[in-house]
Amino acid sequence: MSNEVEIEDHWETPTIAERHAHHVLCSFPANVVANSSGIVVLTIEGERGCVVLITAEAAEIRLPTTEWTKGAYAPRASTCFWRRVAVRETPSSYQKLDQVIEAAIAARRAEFQPCCFCHEEFPPEHMTDDACHGCASANRGIVY
Ligand SMILES: [Zn+2]
């Protein structure tokens, strides 16, 4: 079942946050990962995108990261605050929200840099200086 069908079924009398989320879903390839108590959480384009936490009044845009909860043994997917924008049900407000989300995705993509050894691209939370964690261990003897 696609998200759109699910939304059509469940959102017959949508909350304001759901109406905001519906707009975002029409503009971006987003997935609904939470929807409860007037709060909708969307993910857009995974690790190279952003997470949007939507309420009736605002959208908080967060960027993916990894929390190294117990060193290298317990990496947990997380997010960090990027920007918060007020949202109203007007075309200009939704246009601004789209622009902020596009800027967040661009900011996240710009964080990815190529490893100097394997030349694959990694986000900063998976690199030490100019090397990915795997190559830094193999080539520089760094123990995580
Ligand atoms: Zn590497």
- Over residues 68-97, the pLDDT tens digits come to 877 667 788 999 999 999 999 999 999 999
- Asked if the model's pLDDT at residue 2 lies above 50, the reply is no
Domain that holds residue 130: 112-144
Please give the model's pTM, rounded to 2 decimal places: 0.85
Residues 95 and 120 in one domain: no
Which residues lie near ion ligand 1 (Cβ < 5 Å)? Answer: 115, 117-118, 132, 135
CA 52 to CA 44: how far, in whole Å? Answer: 8
Residues 6+ apart with CB under 8 A from 142: 128, 133, 136
Instruction: Say how many Å lie between the CA of residue 75 and the centre of ligand 1.
Output: 18
Residues 40 and 91 in one domain: yes
Number of domains in the chain: 2
Residues 40 and 107 in one domain: yes
Report the percent of the chain where pLDDT is more than 90. Answer: 80
What is the dihedral sign for C-alpha 3, 9, 12, 14? negative
Instruction: Say how many Å lie between the CA of residue 57 and the centre of ligand 1.
Output: 42
Instruction: Say how many Å lie between the CA of residue 70 and the centre of ligand 1.
Output: 22
Residues 17 and 82 in one domain: yes
Residues 140 and 90 in one domain: no
- Asked if the model's pLDDT at residue 4 lies above 60, the reply is no
Instruction: Say how many Å lie between the CA of residue 131 and the centre of ligand 1.
Output: 5
Residues 60 and 123 in one domain: no
Helix (H, G, I), strand (E, B) or coil at 39: strand
Instruction: Say how many Å lie between the CA of residue 51 and the centre of ligand 1.
Output: 26
Residues 75 and 128 in one domain: no
Residues 106 and 144 in one domain: no
Instruction: Say how many Å lie between the CA of residue 62 and the centre of ligand 1.
Output: 26
Cα angle at 52 between 51 and 53, to 5 degrees?
Answer: 120
Residues 80 and 131 in one domain: no
Residues 101 and 119 in one domain: no
Residues 133 and 101 in one domain: no
CA 113 to CA 80: how far, in whole Å? Answer: 19
Average pLDDT over residues 114-125: 96
> Of the candidates 69, 65, 74, which has an alpha carbon nearest to the alpha carbon of residue 112?
65
